[in-house]
Chain A
């Protein structure tokens, strides 16, 4: 039970006094507590990009303690952020920061860092939002720079100021100052706010992109692209609500793919990078999304996924005009898609027609590089070939090969053997074997294709051959028949030989006349037969030609058809002639085909009736039996074809008969007789 006594009254008073003191102290700090709490919440919301809550909390903080500058500075920053949507906010921010500056300079003799930065940024952004002229913009940049440099003198270790100055340098296209003068300084001074970090890394990425674009060394360029992508990734991690890092990241990856199209590792990494941000880019940026889609589509072509590539081209086209190269690549994708074996005939024809139209435009475009023209010509040629127009295909391939003869482009150089292969095969099918060899010898491609090309060249280069050629006399119906046969081989000629490829002739060497022999061609075997040949000395010639124009010749041995015995010519005295005196009987022996065999020659002279000697043998077994008066012929000397038989005395007048028997070397015997008369001048002499 409480009882009021002096002691309890004193104790109660003391407690009440203490309570009042405590309450007064508590009430004195409650505003500060509330403002601090609200500001903390505002900063948490700002970090989480819950901007509506930020404003509420900041208003609460400013209401709780109007003299508390931090919430007002933060509010100014939120106004600048909101200025991107509503430029009027920049003016509000500018007014707020100017007021804060005046107050702080009055109370503390200098303005805080956020006020300096806020003033510079708000002023610059307010001017930029009006899309100023170049001079006005440069002036605004100079003003902002002056403000920030003034602040830097007050806060020399503040990294945020360097971030802002680096941004100004970037806007002024002064990359050296941006990078060396400010960005590198941030790590050096080390004092930077968490809000400035995403700006810093975005800026570093942009600088790296610019440097990469100007870099000629591929290795270094690749490193710069990777560096830019890394920086943008960092920005994305700090500020996932920003669209800029996604767009920049997409642009960096796209640029890397375009620059390093042949480096699979780099490209795959960049494609993965793009795909991770694609949905965000699709939401944010029309032209960037279109560009990224083009690049991805081109990549999909490289991976052989044509339907995906065409889908991406379609998306890119929906967002804006396709670039020339994208249109070209789409034509390639259309072509490759149409050539897909799974396609139906109708789809294939439609695809090829579309690709043909686009490629024809590309081929004639002034935008086409040498490589583009080369690819377009090759693809068009393939389409023409597919449509059954080999002449056009050849012309286009020739154009590709001719236009690229001096090309130093690696792709063209690598592709040329394949073009030569196509050309070689087309010429081969068109029976232009000379050109086919010329191109096939330069052909390349897969091992199988090279094998085919080599085999074709080998066949075309192989000369035709004639085996087992025989042209021999054979008794088919008569003794003067001829049988001819041969085995022909012409590897260069596709398919069996035709009659036009073979020429079989019979040459009569005596008459110097040549005529064709009808023949029968069955596969590689050529056969012919000649029946009852006239007399003559013959040779059979066989000539086989292949498709390339190479020839093989064969000639038979000379053979003779000899149907008649030796002839007796230039008889003297001539048959039926009358001579005044008889000293010599002469005649000439001749055999048209073979030789006269004079060894069995027999010549005799039957004297007129009533003569003492009726028969006088002049030549026996090829030897003269009487010498000549001039001594040129002696008894027993061998007679030649030009027979001059001395006739010994007496040669009474009357009718003489000369008998000659002579065979040829084949044994055919000629027997001939002729008569002449000897009538001395001035009467008979006995």
Chain B
């Protein structure tokens, strides 16, 4: 065993370790997810059976942008044929959100200050959908308020609030 062999071994194992670390890092941050065949909540943006690329590193509300589509674990009372679903982030903790005349209004909170309420522009919605109204409420901490693109029926408010711990990532 000469010095050259030792150096080449070190380079080899270092390379293996680096590649392994990169793979672990990439795998923990990104992954693929398949939209369940029965899930229609985000059509046509996400078609049933599509494969979506998931950014698993972005889970915290401050990392998320309004309108981002996230994948999250369904709450227990909704679990059935599939455990995950997709929805858009419409409110972050501290925001005051309301639905009036089927239009979504949001007062954002920035640095602890509540800004003026504004109507949220949602060009991706089906104009024939008539989601049920709800009066203003504060998005609780450690949750985000999400809504599907298809809003033909009224979702109970508790279905709209997703705990941060249930978020699996943001779709690309």
Q: Are B76 and A44 neighbours in the complex by a CB distance under 8 Å?
A: yes
Q: How far is the CB of B2 from chain A (nearest CB, A)?
A: 10
Q: How far is the CB of B105 from chain A (nearest CB, A)?
A: 14
Measured in the bound complex, the distance between the Cα atoms of B165 and A326 in whole Å is 52
B-contacting residues, A186-231, CB 8 Å: 186-194, 196-197, 201, 230-231
- Does B5 sit within 8 A of A, measured CB to CB? yes
- Does A5 sit within 8 A of B, measured CB to CB? yes
Q: Are B75 and A47 neighbours in the complex by a CB distance under 8 Å?
A: yes
- Does A509 sit within 8 A of B, measured CB to CB? no
Q: Mark A224-260, 1 if CB is under 8 A from B, else 0.
A: 0000001100100111100000000000000000000
- Does A686 sit within 8 A of B, measured CB to CB? no
Q: Mark B92-111, 1 if CB is under 8 A from A, else 0.
A: 01111000000000000100
Q: Are B156 and A44 neighbours in the complex by a CB distance under 8 Å?
A: no
Measured in the bound complex, the distance between the Cα atoms of B2 and A186 in whole Å is 72
Q: Are B9 and A237 neighbours in the complex by a CB distance under 8 Å?
A: no
Main secondary structure of the interface of B (DSSP, over half): mixed
9-residue interface stretch from B31-39, B62-70, B139-147:
B139-147
Contact of A234 with B134 at beta-carbon distance under 8 Å, contacts A187-B96, A190-B114 already known:
yes
Q: Which residues of A contact B134 (CB under 8 A)?
A: 234, 237
9-residue interface stretch from A6-14, A361-369, A534-542:
A6-14
Q: Which residues of A contact B161 (CB under 8 A)?
A: 194
Q: Which residues of B contact A191 (CB under 8 A)?
A: 93-94, 141
Q: Which residue of A lies closest to B141 (CB)?
A: A191
The answer, among A186, A188, A194, A230, for a CB contact under 8 Å with B163, is A194
Measured in the bound complex, the distance between the Cα atoms of B93 and A108 in whole Å is 27
Q: How far is the CB of B55 from chain A (nearest CB, A)?
A: 21
Q: Are B138 and A192 neighbours in the complex by a CB distance under 8 Å?
A: yes
- Does A43 sit within 8 A of B, measured CB to CB? yes
Q: Are A159 and B138 neighbours in the complex by a CB distance under 8 Å?
A: yes
- Does A666 sit within 8 A of B, measured CB to CB? no
Most buried by A among B13, B75, B140, B165: B140
Q: Which residues of B contact A230 (CB under 8 A)?
A: 135
- Does A599 sit within 8 A of B, measured CB to CB? no
Contact of A190 with B1 at beta-carbon distance under 8 Å, contacts A45-B76, A230-B135 already known:
no
Measured in the bound complex, the distance between the Cα atoms of B136 and A187 in whole Å is 10
Q: Are A238 and B165 neighbours in the complex by a CB distance under 8 Å?
A: no
Q: Are B114 and A6 neighbours in the complex by a CB distance under 8 Å?
A: no
Q: Are B75 and A192 neighbours in the complex by a CB distance under 8 Å?
A: no
- Does A157 sit within 8 A of B, measured CB to CB? yes
Q: Which residue of B lies closest to A14 (CB)?
A: B13
Q: Which residues of B contact A5 (CB under 8 A)?
A: 1
Q: Which residue of A lies closest to B133 (CB)?
A: A230
Q: How far is the CB of A47 from chain B (nearest CB, A)?
A: 6
Closest 5 CB pairs of A and B: A190-B94, A48-B76, A194-B140, A237-B156, A237-B157
Measured in the bound complex, the distance between the Cα atoms of B137 and A194 in whole Å is 11
Q: How far is the CB of B154 from chain A (nearest CB, A)?
A: 9
Q: Which residues of A contact B112 (CB under 8 A)?
A: 157, 189-190
Main secondary structure of the interface of A (DSSP, over half): helix
Where the two chains meet, the residues of A that have a C-beta atom closer than 8 Å to any C-beta of B are 5-7, 11, 14, 40, 43-45, 47-48, 50, 157, 159, 186-194, 196-197, 201, 230-231, 234, 237-240
Q: Which residue of A lies closest to B114 (CB)?
A: A190
Measured in the bound complex, the distance between the Cα atoms of B114 and A189 in whole Å is 9
Q: Mark B49-60, 1 if CB is under 8 A from A, else 0.
A: 000000000000
Q: Are B156 and A47 neighbours in the complex by a CB distance under 8 Å?
A: no
- Interface range, B side: 20 to 34
Q: Are B137 and A197 neighbours in the complex by a CB distance under 8 Å?
A: yes
The answer, among A50, A188, A234, for a CB contact under 8 Å with B76, is A50
Q: Mark B5-32, 1 if CB is under 8 A from A, else 0.
A: 1100100010000000000000000000
Q: Are A238 and B157 neighbours in the complex by a CB distance under 8 Å?
A: yes
Q: Are B158 and A47 neighbours in the complex by a CB distance under 8 Å?
A: yes
The answer, among A40, A48, A186, for a CB contact under 8 Å with B165, is A40
Contact of A197 with B142 at beta-carbon distance under 8 Å, contacts A44-B166, A50-B76 already known:
no
Measured in the bound complex, the distance between the Cα atoms of B156 and A7 in whole Å is 66
Contact of A201 with B13 at beta-carbon distance under 8 Å, contacts A50-B76, A190-B109 already known:
no
Q: Which residues of B contact A240 (CB under 8 A)?
A: 156
Q: How far is the CB of A323 from chain B (nearest CB, A)?
A: 32
Measured in the bound complex, the distance between the Cα atoms of B136 and A40 in whole Å is 28
Most buried by B among A47, A194, A230: A194
Q: Mark B121-136, 1 if CB is under 8 A from A, else 0.
A: 0000000000000111
Measured in the bound complex, the distance between the Cα atoms of B93 and A197 in whole Å is 13
Q: Are B114 and A187 neighbours in the complex by a CB distance under 8 Å?
A: yes
Q: Mark B153-172, 1 if CB is under 8 A from A, else 0.
A: 00011100101011000000
Q: Which residue of A lies closest to B2 (CB)?
A: A7
Q: Which residues of A contact B96 (CB under 8 A)?
A: 187, 190
The answer, among B77, B114, B135, for a CB contact under 8 Å with A188, is B114
Q: Which residues of A contact B9 (CB under 8 A)?
A: 7, 11
Q: Are B1 and A234 neighbours in the complex by a CB distance under 8 Å?
A: no
Q: Which residues of B contact A50 (CB under 8 A)?
A: 76
Q: Are B163 and A7 neighbours in the complex by a CB distance under 8 Å?
A: no
Q: How far is the CB of A375 from chain B (nearest CB, A)?
A: 39
Q: Which residues of A contact B94 (CB under 8 A)?
A: 190-191
Q: Which residues of A contact B75 (CB under 8 A)?
A: 44, 47-48
Q: How far is the CB of A253 from chain B (nearest CB, A)?
A: 16
Q: Which residues of A contact B142 (CB under 8 A)?
A: 193-194
Q: How far is the CB of B131 from chain A (nearest CB, A)?
A: 13
21 pairs, A vs B, C-beta closer than 8 Å? A7-B5, A40-B165, A43-B165, A44-B73, A44-B76, A48-B77, A157-B112, A187-B96, A187-B136, A189-B112, A190-B109, A190-B138, A191-B94, A192-B140, A192-B141, A193-B140, A194-B161, A196-B140, A201-B137, A237-B134, A237-B158
Measured in the bound complex, the distance between the Cα atoms of B158 and A197 in whole Å is 10
Measured in the bound complex, the distance between the Cα atoms of B146 and A141 in whole Å is 38
Q: How far is the CB of B147 from chain A (nearest CB, A)?
A: 14
Measured in the bound complex, the distance between the Cα atoms of B73 and A40 in whole Å is 11
Q: Are A190 and B93 neighbours in the complex by a CB distance under 8 Å?
A: yes
Q: Which residues of B contact A192 (CB under 8 A)?
A: 138, 140-141
Q: How far is the CB of A117 from chain B (nearest CB, A)?
A: 14
Q: How far is the CB of A133 from chain B (nearest CB, A)?
A: 37
